[in-house]
Amino acid sequence: MVQLIAAGLAPGSAYAIIGCCVVLLFRTTGVLNFSQAVLGAFGAYTAAEAYGALGLTSASAALVGLLTGTLLSALVGGLITWLFKDGQAAARATAMIAVTVGLLTLGLRLFGDVPLSVPAVVPATTVDTGNVTVGLDTVVVLGLGLVLAGGSAAVLARTRLGAVLRAVSARPSTAELLGVRVRLLALGMWAFTGAMSSAAMLLIAPARSDNFGNLGLIILPALAAVLVGAFRSVMATLAGGLVLGIVESVSVSWPAVSDYKAVLPFLLVIVALLWSQRKQVWDEAR
């Protein structure tokens, strides 16, 4: 059981990282980015193509993939910022759904539905703690998730940059009148979250052997983690992603549950929604 829990930390950390990126972008730009995992998948598969077709080393290919995910995310962010600068949240969300579908279609057209060999960024070594053996890649992706969540929470809550970013999300026009470079900050957040998503995908893709579509659909468990954090808390999102990854891994030992593993994110979404609405329901009951 302990080994299964450890095995769930890698996918859980990826869910958490992508979910934290969604929360960060939503809190700083007001955009709900449904394409977060797809952008990361573009980075991972570009690295795979650079490694296989161009003969680059794994480190060089990973850097190419990381830059691709970053630049593509910045490009999408620039278009959304330009076209929907003063748009309502619903309009931006609708646009992001269209962008996500378009990027998924483009990715499947470019990379197909055959799993590609993504080069391993981290050496294939293990860390033995006595009772459990954990891969070094799991340690790295978990560490990345902890640093991302803890660092972003501290920046948003305790620094002037965090206050400015929150102001950009709440009142972009007012912030611009006060001299804040709204578009530049928004592009920076899009590029940063694209880089983090690509890094998460590069770390977990070698062990998953998924095709492009499946990697892009990692956004579903990531959004379930986001709902645990109520679109506000990156730390709660981190916890939600890790719990979901562990539950998916442990469910392998339960034959009655393992066949429905893909349903677990939706179940977590329902539970999170019910929990978030508990106060309103109880008030109406009283």
Output the DSSP codes for 92-129.
Answer: HHHHHHHHHHHHHHHHHHHHTTSPP-PPPSS-S-EEE-
pLDDT at 71: 93
Which regions of the chain are under pLDDT 70? Answer: 1, 3, 85-87, 123-124, 126-130, 166-182, 208-209, 252-266, 268-269, 272-273, 275-286
Six-digit token pair at 248? 């998916």
- The CA-to-CA distance between both ends of the chain, in Å, stands at 43
Specify burial of residue 176 (Cβ count, 10 A radius: 0-12, 13-18, 19+). middle
The Cα 14–Cα 133 span in angstroms is 19
pTM of the model: 0.84
Whose structure tokens read 């299964």?
Answer: 4
Six-digit token pair at 82? 């330009």
pLDDT at 172: 63
State phi, psi for 181 to the nearest 5 degrees.
Answer: -85, 80
> What is the pairing mode between strands 126-128 and 133-135?
antiparallel
Summarize pLDDT for 86-133 with one digit per residue, the tens: 667 777 888 888 888 888 888 888 887 777 777 777 766 766 666 777
pLDDT at 67: 92
